[in-house]
Amino acid sequence: MNNAELAERIAETNELTKADARKIVDAVFAAIADAVAAGDEVALNGFGKFKVKDSAAREGRNPSTGETIQIAASKKLGFTPAKAVKDRLNG
């Protein structure tokens, strides 16, 4: 499912136009992105948590040359599903 399909489903179930539903979907994703970029955890009850995780600098290898390279520290976005979502996946 992509953004347009999600917006279409929301429009159908909530009697909205597709354009209005798309604005809502885009606003929700923007709010989540802004919050995690600021270092906040986003917890959506019944769905899961989005949380920023730090990845330390490390050594790696260039696969084509075998040369050792330094991989810089970075931040990753992690998602932990809620129990209800896990149960639906495995039920």
Q: Rounded CA gap, 42 and 49, in Å?
A: 6
pTM greater than the 0.85 cutoff: no
Q: Rounded CA gap, 91 and 38, in Å?
A: 35
Check whether residue 52 and residue 36 sit in a common domain. Answer: no
N-terminal to C-terminal alpha carbon distance within the chain = 21
Check whether residue 71 and residue 34 sit in a common domain. Answer: no
88: containing domain: 45-91
Check whether residue 50 and residue 25 sit in a common domain. Answer: no
CATH number of the structural domain spanning residue 52? 4.10.520.10
Check whether residue 54 and residue 14 sit in a common domain. Answer: no
Number of independent structural domains in the chain:
2
The tens digit of pLDDT for each residue in 21-80 reads: 999 999 999 999 999 999 999 999 999 999 999 999 999 999 999 999 999 999 999 999
